[in-house]
Amino acid sequence: MSSSLVGWKDLPLGAVAFISAKEYPTGEWAVFQPKIDESKCIKCGLCWMYCPDSVYRWDGESVPVPDLDHCKGCGICEVECPTKAIQMVRV
């Protein structure tokens, strides 16, 4: 076995990005974004749980509210909503 293997502590420092996604309104990329019919919402939180961009704000009791400045329009929340309360609409 080769003895040239090194541990991660021996590797040189690489680039580190000190930025926050909060500063970038990626919602501008979206072609479709979610619209919630509050009358159909059972407040299950699945949209909040499944959104890959943590777009939904939810207090655990009320209807989740999407921060559309950071929604890329993937449509996962619409697919996962059990009551079809979410509809993707053209921006």
Residue from the set 43, 65, 90, 91 that interacts with ligand SF4 by CB under 6 A: 43
Residue from the set 51, 60, 61, 91 that interacts with ligand SF4 by CB under 6 A: 51
Q: Does 45 bind ligand SF4 (CB under 6 A)?
A: yes
Residue from the set 62, 65, 66, 90 that interacts with ligand SF4 by CB under 6 A: 66
Joined together, the tokens standing for residue 20 give 């926050």
- In angstroms, the CA 34 to CA 11 distance is 44
53 Cβ neighbours under 8 A, 6+ residues apart: 26, 70, 71, 72, 74
Q: Does 76 bind ligand SF4 (CB under 6 A)?
A: yes
> What one-letter code names the amino acid at 47?
C
Q: Does 41 bind ligand SF4 (CB under 6 A)?
A: yes
